[in-house]
Structure 1
Amino acid sequence: MIEFSADAGPRLLLDEGSVLDIGACVVDGVDLSPGKAVPDDGDARISHSVEGFLFTCGPDHIRHRQPMGGAFGDRSYPLHGSFSATPAKVQWLRHEMGNAECRADVDVVTAERLTARLERLWRIDGSTGEVFLRDRLVNTSGEPMPVFLMYHMNIGGKWFDDSVRLTGSMLEGGGFPWTFGEEHGGIFCVPAPATEHGYSEVSLGPIAAIGGKTLRVRVSAETLPFLQVWRNQKAPAHVLGIEPVSHRWVPRVELEEAGEFDILQPGEGRDFALCFAFVAAPSKVDASAVAS
């Protein structure tokens, strides 16, 4: 793990053994990642990844396993795709003027035996404490390939009380308590159109354990036009996930039949971005800052 922090903001542990995803996310001395309080889906890669604060799902598949069919017979696309457990090659780690930056490449072989590269850049603004993630996914194979991406931001439910709410313009009524759904959990996926400057925004808080701060997440809606939110309080799980995603929550074959695959030609790339911060209260911030 690489310790990654700036003059302000959270202290992160970046997992160079798995896509340079975030393991621990420490705010005011509290690690908000769920740790072992997550379900076990029988895949060691995912069991490791889901324990952290953020892991990357894709690029050949998202969500749960589905049959591949065709030339691949009875094989299935892997749970959450092929990224998890793929090592990252760190290009640089910098701390300058109170800011922090880490750049890495992740070369992956997909379930279809094609190749892709994730060019990943993490940055923390040392004055505001906001964390920025910029990804470029490039088709390095010689064939066209459909690409999918989902970011799982997982927060340990043990840190929440009854005052914690989800808030966002894409949510019914503009928001609701974090304990949505059935007694032990729930899941939904909704369109998340941009509100300004091409970004959608969702917040979770206030979280008393970190001084009443709220987690504010902003997402580039052009390539991540949906928001999935997942809650699981079925013991031993105790976790809530905020999950920006490229495709709606329907079977893969339905997406293909509807012409909703995002096809990358050989050498072509696609950009994805999000940022998050722990703020004193939900607030509107100029999303053009994300592009800086």
Structure 2
Amino acid sequence: MVKLYGKEWTRRELESRVGRIDQLGGVQRFVMREGPEAGQEAFQVRTGAGLSYWVHPSKGMDISLAEFCGIPVSWSASNGNPHSSYYDAEGNNWLRSASGGLLMTCGLSQVGASGQDEYGSFGLHGQIHHTPARQTSYYAEWHGTDYEMFTRGVLEETSIFGHTLRLTRTIISRLGENRLKIMDTVENVSFIPVPHMMLYHFNFGFPLLMEDTIIVLPESKSTSRDAGMDMSRLHEWQAPDPLFTEQVYYHEPLEQQEKISVQIISPSFPVNDFNSSSKGLTVELKWDPVTLPRLVQWRMPGAGEHVLGIEPSNCWTKGRAEERKTDSLRMLQPGETVQYEIELNFKSN
């Protein structure tokens, strides 16, 4: 059964009321035609229950704009969604072509500050957000009583005389559900051990972020990336401040549990413009702490850069060389694979 519009429907009941299920929800492929986005493909996914989002196979299979009932929940950077050909890997130039959006993947062998180590020089946050996917596909079909929507792509970080890391990403949603699941497999296709750093840079923005927004974090050992940072406002938000300097916090969840979760509770999110019985929105991000044992929180209530980053990871953000110094760098052995699964749920209050 599919729950839509306040009741449950069978497949045949829904099919009898529409010419195509696409009227209710599904996946479509688009090609962007102007500006720095020109030539870039994108998949739009609509679940029919309020959630819609755009997946960019030309740019890391990452997710740009996400909306709930037509209202944005993600933050969009001033860059827009420029084609990956604009990417410059030197230093911090990643910032000139990063898209923002709901998800920017950082990795696969480098996350955080640029630098240099025995493997060579590396730029901010690695290459994968700017890597076009191969073997891209999308489809929507009935699986039993569920109508499921899939987008899929394969991304590789490679170098002659270097290493090859392969990321296979599948993003799944269902008709009638305000939920998406990201299923990633990273494989070391090389014949040498390879550093593997992975961080899922989820970016939330206005109007999900308002002065009454509450951020519920897991019970953790928490520290600031930089000395002297204010630790008193981790669970709250504030109005835009053009003089604000970014704050980055590191959280190591204390309790061993099957899933770690973060909730963003927005009492004033304007769902009631569409549904008078709803008061606000709660967004919950859940993941497996076995493969992603760390959480980075990017708090940036600036003007224009008005964004909260919730970032499950297997590393911190000081760069690969620093991870080696602290003996915390994850190494993938030849042929080794690691699987990641992240779920994002949207629920009107």
With normalisation by structure 1, the TM-score equals 0.82
Partner of residue 236, structure 1: 304
Residue 274 of structure 1 pairs with residue 315 of structure 2: no
Aligned to 2:37: none
Counterpart CA distance in 1 for 2:161 and 2:125 is 14
Q: Which residue of structure 2 aligns with residue 32 of structure 1?
A: 73
Letter of the aligned partner of 1:10 in structure 2? Answer: L
Contact 2:259–2:287 (CA<8 Å) still a contact in 1? yes
Distance 1:113 1:272, change over 3 A: same
Letter in 1 for 2:269: A
Q: Does 1:186 align with 2:186?
A: no
**The residue matched to 2:324 in structure 1 has which SS?**
helix
Secondary structure at the counterpart of residue 256 of structure 1 = helix
Letter in 1 for 2:235: F
Secondary structure of the corresponding residue to residue 150 of structure 2: strand
The answer to whether the 8 A contact 1:92-1:103 is kept is yes
Alpha-carbon shift at residue 63 of structure 1 (Å): 1.1
1:205 shift after superposition: 1.7
In structure 1, the partner of 2:35 is: none
Q: Which amino acid aligns with 1:187?
A: V
Equivalent in the alignment of 1:103: 152
Q: Structure 1 regions of 5+ residues with no counterpart? A: 282-292
Which structure 2 residues correspond to residues 1-292 of structure 1 after superposition, within 5 A? 1-8=42-49, 10-37=51-78, 45-68=94-117, 70=118, 72=120, 76-97=121-142, 98-109=147-158, 113-157=162-206, 159-170=208-219, 176-179=235-238, 184=244, 185-192=246-253, 196=257, 198-206=258-266, 208-211=268-271, 212-250=280-318, 252-281=320-349
**1:32 deviation in Å?**
2.5
Whole-Å separation in 1 of the counterparts to 2:340 and 2:332: 14
Asked whether the equivalents of residues 74 and 101 of structure 2 are also in contact (C-alpha less than 8 Å), the reply is yes
Q: Give distance in 1, aligned partners of 2:138 and 2:181.
A: 15
Q: How far apart in 2 are the matches of 1:110 and 1:31?
A: 38
CA contact (8 A) 1:78 1:111 kept: no
Is the CA contact 1:9–1:126 (under 8 Å) kept in the aligned structure 2? no
Aligned counterparts of 1:189 and 1:112: Cα–Cα separation in 2: 35
Q: How many residues align?
A: 274
Instruction: Give the Å deviation of 1:123.
Output: 0.5
* More displaced stretch, 243-252 vs 209-218: 243-252
Task: Give the conservation status (yes or no) of the 8 Å contact 1:88–1:106.
Answer: yes
- Once superposed, what is the RMSD of the aligned Cα atoms? 3.0
Distance 2:348 2:313 in 1: 27
Contact 2:94 2:123 in 1 (8 A): no
Q: How far off its partner does 1:106 sit?
A: 0.7
Using the TM superposition, give the Cα deviation of residue 221 of structure 1 relative to its aligned residue in structure 2, in angstroms: 0.7
- For residues 151 and 112 of structure 1, the distance between their equivalents in structure 2, rounded to whole angstroms, comes to 28
Cα offset, 1:248, TM superposition = 3.4
Which structure's CA Rg is the greater one?
Answer: 2
TM-score, normalised on structure 2? 0.70
Match of 2:287, SS state, is: strand
1:251 deviates by 5.4
Letter in 1 for 2:141: E
Q: Secondary structure at the match of 1:190?
A: strand
- Alignment partners' CA distance in 2, 1:218 and 1:112: 38
Aligned CA distance change for structure 1 residues 71 and 13 (closer, same or farther; 3 Å): closer
